Amino acid sequence: MSTRTPGSRIRAAVGDPRQSGPAATPRQDAVTAALSAWLVGGLMLDAWAHSNVPELESFFTPWHGVFYTGFAATAAWILLLVWRNIRLGARGFAAVPLGYRAAVVAIPVFALSGVADWSWHTVFGIEQSIDILFSPSHLGLVAAMFIIVTAPVRSALARTELPSTLGALWPALLACGMAAALVLLFLEYGNAIVYSAGAIVWSFSTDQGPDIRRLAAGMVITNIVLLTPLLYLARYWRLPFGAALLVILPSVVLSGAETAVENLGVLIGFACGALGVDLLAQWIRPTGERRGAYQLFAIVAPLFLWSLYLGVASSSVGHPPTIVEFWTGAPVVAGMVGWLVSGVLLPRRLA
């Protein structure tokens, strides 16, 4: 007769949490990133619907279908990776690929949040305004999504050697871009990319009222959200050409979905700005070992990006904002904020 307690049997099945699993292959991370794009794309469709379909009254919509099937495909793939390792003899924590443990935990959290979201909409209806960004069920969904889609980043960091090439790093880069888009989606009230060219020039042409404050704050928030993943990755790898585009483009696509692409000039300008940041990264070569170059990139990249943002808006309207201090100083503020972010991500070592 066995004397093992239920707790000891569970511990035996789960294994030692300090025991790491096998590393995922680059191809497996690529599949995870591609399926995550399906999931995030479904959320972008849903964001478009909430912004552009005022008669939306049902939980069961085509965009929810894309969203939840994207989750099902991503979750099934991650669990398949675990099952393959179990079939090879691994047990418990040792069966979960490196970097995927948090994603395995987030899968049931997402499922429970989805059920809670259906219940929430049944009781309280469908949100049509900014209240959608504060729904508890939506916050649960996006938090779980953030953990799931960033699995390729953690997997890449767990490898002992990974070349700094776009072919090797694109799953981690795209994962960071999708994570940034998720954050910017739920900070939509501080997203400067959704402004039209006319709104940008108008807002910076008055020193009174809420418009100038909203745009100025939005530039700071958007700058931090988009710059942080680039600087985080630059701590570990030299950024290949295309890194900034992969990190920034998901947020541009999201912003286009929210505005029904009515601010096309600003969106194109921001995408071109990402390519410019890529060129700056090749010239400056910021890495964790080159602290000066790292800090210089953190200053120059946002200075360039937001100067282009204001330049595109001014060109579209035909003139710059009337208050010179705003359109000349805002990119400088962005550069200073970038320098502060670099100090947080790459602090000076204490002697």
Phi, psi of 21 (to 5 degrees): -90, -175
Rounded to whole angstroms, the Cα distance separating 312 from 286 reads 27
Q: Is 34 helix (H, G, I), strand (E, B) or coil?
A: helix
The residue among 248, 222, 236, 207 whose CA lies nearest residue 294 is 236
N-terminal to C-terminal alpha carbon distance within the chain = 60
Q: What percent of the chain has pLDDT over 70?
A: 87
Phi, psi of 229 (to 5 degrees): -65, -35
The residue among 284, 300, 283, 287 whose CA lies nearest residue 339 is 300
Rounded to whole angstroms, the Cα distance separating 283 from 182 reads 30
So where are the chain's domains? 10-161, 173-351
Which residue's entry shows tokens 């503020």?
333
Contact 339, 228 (CB under 8 A): no
The 10s digit of each residue's pLDDT in 319-330 is 999 999 999 999
The CA dihedral of 238, 227, 277, 173, to the nearest 10 degrees, is: 50
Rounded to whole angstroms, the Cα distance separating 161 from 149 reads 22
User: pLDDT digit of tens for each residue in the chain (351 aa)?
Assistant: 455 555 444 444 455 455 667 888 899 999 999 999 999 998 888 777 766 665 655 556 777 788 889 999 999 999 999 999 998 888 788 899 999 999 999 999 999 998 887 787 666 666 666 777 778 888 899 999 999 999 999 999 988 677 888 988 999 999 999 999 999 998 989 999 999 999 999 999 988 878 899 999 999 999 999 999 999 999 999 999 999 999 999 999 999 988 888 999 999 999 999 999 999 999 999 999 999 999 999 999 999 999 999 999 999 999 999 999 999 999 999 999 999 999 999 987 643
The C-alpha angle 326, 332, 333, rounded to 5 degrees, equals 80
The C-alpha angle 225, 229, 230, rounded to 5 degrees, equals 115
Rounded to whole angstroms, the Cα distance separating 351 from 347 reads 12
Q: What residues have CB less than 8 Å from 344, skipping those under 6 apart? A: none
What per-residue confidence (pLDDT) applies to 138?
Answer: 84
The 10s digit of each residue's pLDDT in 188-199 is 899 999 999 999
Contact 197, 312 (CB under 8 A): yes
What per-residue confidence (pLDDT) applies to 59?
Answer: 58
Rounded to whole angstroms, the Cα distance separating 139 from 187 reads 11
Rg (CA), the chain: 22
The residue among 111, 109, 83, 108 whose CA lies nearest residue 96 is 83
The CA dihedral of 121, 124, 127, 128, to the nearest 10 degrees, is: 130
What per-residue confidence (pLDDT) applies to 58?
Answer: 56
Instruction: Give the total residue count for the chain.
Output: 351
The 10s digit of each residue's pLDDT in 215-238 is 999 999 999 999 999 999 999 999
